[in-house]
C-alpha cells in the first residue's frame, strides 16, 4: 500500500512520472530546448500558484539559497549537456552515458556519506546498465566524426544530474516539509530562465504551435517535472545514494515501455531481454537487507 511516510514509494513514483517525459516530447511539435523550457516554466507556474493559494513563504537561510542556486545550475547543465550529446551520438548512447549517474551516486555514497553498497547492489548496478544497453542499442557505425564530443557531453550529463541529486539531498536533509514544493518551484524558475536564455542565444523559437501542444506541455510540466521532481527529492535523504541511482534507471527503462505501449514501437527480442534484465536489477537493488544473523 502506498504511504507518503515511506520514502521508497515516493522515489519510485517520481521515477515513473519522469519516465513519461519522452511521451510528452514526442506528442508536441517543438524543439527539445523549447520543450525543456516549458517543462520547467509550466512546472514552476503550477507550484507557484499552489504556494500562493496556501500562503507558503519562500523563506530560506542564505546558505540554503546558495544550495538552491547550485541545484538550479546543475539541473540546467544536465538538460543542456544531454541535448547536445543527442545531437552528436544519438538518443541511444547518450541515454546510456547519462545513466552512468548510478556510478557517480554510488561513489559519492561511499566516499562522502559512508554508505557502502550491499553485495546485491554491486551486482544490480552493472546488470541494470547492461539491460539498458540492450534496450537503447549501440550502433557504432552511425556515430559522427564528432562522437568524442558526444561521449564527453553524455558523461557530463551523468555528472551534472548526480550533482543535482546530491545537492537536493543536502537541501532536504534539513527540511521540515514532507514534499519540497518550495525548493522545486525555485529550481524550476531558475531552470526556465536559463533554458529561455539558451534558446534566445541559439535562435530557437519558444512559440507553441497549437493549443493541443500547449496541453501536452502543461501535462509535461505539472506531472513529469513538478510532481516527479518533488517525489524524488523528498525521498533522497532517507535512502542510500546507490538505491536512488538504481531507482532512477527506471526512467529510461519505462520510457522504452511507454514507447511500445503508446506509439506501437516494434520490439526485438534483445530489447525485451534488456528491459527484463534492467527491471530485475532495479528490483534486486531495492531489496532490504535481511535481519537474520
For the chain, what percent of residues have pLDDT higher than 70? 92
Report the pLDDT averaged over residues 84-89.
78
Question: What confidence score (pLDDT) does residue 293 get?
Answer: 40
pTM listed for this prediction: 0.86
Residue 22 covered by a domain: yes
Residue 173 covered by a domain: yes
Report the pLDDT averaged over residues 142-156.
77
What is the rounded distance in angstroms from the CA atom of residue 38 to the CA atom of residue 219?
Answer: 10
Question: What confidence score (pLDDT) does residue 191 get?
Answer: 93
- The number of domains in the chain is 1
Residue 1 covered by a domain: no
Residue 195 covered by a domain: yes
Q: 274 falls in which pLDDT band (50, 70, 90)?
A: confident
Q: 292 falls in which pLDDT band (50, 70, 90)?
A: very low
Domain containing residue 200:
7-286
Residue 293 covered by a domain: no
Express each pLDDT in 27-65 by its tens digit: 888 887 888 899 999 999 999 999 999 888 777 888 989
Q: 253 falls in which pLDDT band (50, 70, 90)?
A: confident
Helix 119-136 vs helix 269-286: angle between axes, to the nearest 10 degrees? Answer: 160
Residue 291 covered by a domain: no
pLDDT at 3 > cutoff 70: no
Q: Higher confidence at residue 71 or residue 1?
A: 71
Residue 29 covered by a domain: yes
Report the pLDDT averaged over residues 233-253.
90
Amino acid at each position: 500500500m502506498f504511504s507518503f511516510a515511506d520514502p521508497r514509494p515516493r522515489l519510485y513514483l517520481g521515477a515513473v512520472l519522469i519516465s513519461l517525459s519522452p511521451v510528452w516530447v514526442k506528442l508536441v511539435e517543438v524543439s527539445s530546448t523549447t520543450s525543456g523550457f516549458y517543462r520547467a516554466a509550466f512546472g514552476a507556474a503550477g507550484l507557484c500558484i499552489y504556494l500562493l493559494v496556501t500562503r507558503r513563504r519562500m523563506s530560506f537561510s542564505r546558505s540554503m539559497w546558495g544550495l538552491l542556486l547550485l541545484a538550479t545550475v546543475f539541473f540546467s547543465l544536465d538538460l543542456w549537456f544531454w541535448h547536445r550529446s543527442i545531437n552528436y551520438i544519438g538518443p541511444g548512447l547518450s541515454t546510456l552515458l547519462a545513466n552512468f549517474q548510478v556510478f557517480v551516486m554510488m561513489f559519492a555514497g561511499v566516499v562522502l556519506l559512508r554508505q557502502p553498497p550491499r553485495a546485491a547492489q554491486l551486482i544490480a548496478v552493472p546488470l541494470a546498465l547492461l539491460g539498458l544497453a540492450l534496450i537503447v542499442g549501440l550502433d557504432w557505425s552511425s556515430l559522427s566524426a564528432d562522437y568524442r564530443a558526444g561521449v564527453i557531453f553524455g558523461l557530463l550529463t551523468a555528472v551534472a544530474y548526480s550533482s543535482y541529486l546530491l545537492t537536493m539531498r543536502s537541501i532536504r536533509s534539513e527540511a521540515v516539509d514532507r514534499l519540497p514544493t518550495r525548493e522545486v518551484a525555485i529550481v524550476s524558475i531558475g531552470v526556465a530562465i536559463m533554458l529561455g536564455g539558451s534558446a534566445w542565444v541559439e535562435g530557437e523559437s519558444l512559440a507553441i504551435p497549437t493549443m493541443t501542444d500547449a496541453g501536452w506541455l502543461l501535462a509535461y510540466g505539472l506531472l513529469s517535472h513538478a510532481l516527479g521532481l518533488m517525489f524524488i527529492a523528498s525521498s533522497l535523504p532517507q535512502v542510500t545514494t546507490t538505491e536512488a541511482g538504481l531507482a532512477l534507471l527506471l526512467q529510461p527503462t519505462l520510457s522504452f515501455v511507454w514507447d511500445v505501449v503508446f506509439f506501437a514501437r516494434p520490439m526485438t527480442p534483445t530489447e525485451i531481454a534488456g528491459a527484463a534484465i534492467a527491471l530485475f536489477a532495479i528490483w534486486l537493488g531495492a531489496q532490504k537487507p535481511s535481519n537474520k544473523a
